[in-house]
Amino acid sequence: MMAENNQPGRPIFPYQVKQIVTSRLILRPMCDEDIDYFHDIRTRPEVMKWTHKRKIDNDIQETKSWINRFLRPDRSNPPFHLSIIEKTTGHIIGMAGVYTLHPQAELGYMLHPDKWGVGYATEALTAFLQKWWELPRYNQDKASNIEDWLFADAHKENGVSLRLMEKLGFERYTVFVEDGDEIIGLRLRSSLY
Ligand SMILES: CC(C)(COP(=O)(O)OP(=O)(O)OC[C@H]1O[C@@H](n2cnc3c(N)ncnc32)[C@H](O)[C@@H]1OP(=O)(O)O)[C@@H](O)C(=O)NCCC(=O)NCCS
């Protein structure tokens, strides 16, 4: 399953997405000005306990370093990390993105707790995934039936996230232990052409 970035079916980066509009949300590339919104989200223990970091950002500098990974991408950090804006308020309420391509493409997301439970993650990620599978890809010109995979993981206790991913079509394929926590690995396959 581990794959080089340029194997058939993998997205070709850089790719500039402008924005994705859904009925209640706008997804657009992250920018430096988003930092205060993300600092608010990333200083909430109920959000951060489910991330790989597990702890809140201690100061704005930590949030800045996190954003910088996506604003100044390198080979392993694709520029496909989007801020989620609530249309009614114009506020950034979260993010969805593929945060790494190495050794495989991995999906991540988080929302502000005040905005949980009204279907925003489902709405944002449905649109995000549609765009993801539409990206220009290596060997797109070939008329073969090329497959690609998107991976994600979630703590075994993160029932909302597991429910969300399974609703989006992800399947559970492995379980591993990270820092003493049981983590479920999930994957989503697309037949691209
Ligand atoms: C995971 C997260 C993005 C979900 O956001 P959300 O907008 O509240 O999700 P949705 O409203 O789209 O709901 C998704 C599903 O979870 C269910 N759900 C929502 N809140 C729930 C709760 N407290 N308990 C159980 N299920 C719940 C919803 O009912 C929905 O399933 P359904 O369509 O079958 O009813 C949000 O909880 C979050 O940011 N969590 C912290 C960060 C995190 O966990 N990131 C992912 C790391 S793997």
Q: Dump pLDDT digits (tens) for 67-114.
A: 998 887 666 566 789 999 999 999 999 999 998 888 889 999 999 999
- How many domains does the structure of the chain reveal? 1
Considering the domain boundaries, does residue 139 fall inside one? yes
> What letter represents residue 160's amino acid?
V
Considering the domain boundaries, does residue 49 fall inside one? yes
Looking at residue 14, what is its pLDDT? 76
Q: How confident is the model at residue 1 (pLDDT cuts 50, 70, 90)?
A: very low
CA distances from 56 to 51, 149, 178 (A): 9, 30, 18
Ligand 1 centroid to residue 123 C-alpha, Å: 11
**End-to-end Cα spacing for the chain:** 19
- The parent domain of residue 67 ranges over 20-145
Pocket of ligand 1 (CB under 6 A): 47, 50, 109-111, 116-122, 154, 158-161, 163-164, 167
Considering the domain boundaries, does residue 168 fall inside one? no
Taking CA atoms only, the protein residue closest to ligand 1 atom 13 is 119
Q: What is the pTM of this model?
A: 0.93
Considering the domain boundaries, does residue 56 fall inside one? yes
CA atoms of 80 and 28, how far apart (whole Å): 9
Considering the domain boundaries, does residue 41 fall inside one? yes
Q: What is the CATH number of the domain that holds 61?
A: 3.40.630.30
Considering the domain boundaries, does residue 176 fall inside one? no
Q: List phi, psi (to 5°) of 93.
A: -110, 0
Ligand 1 centroid to residue 45 C-alpha, Å: 16
Considering the domain boundaries, does residue 59 fall inside one? yes
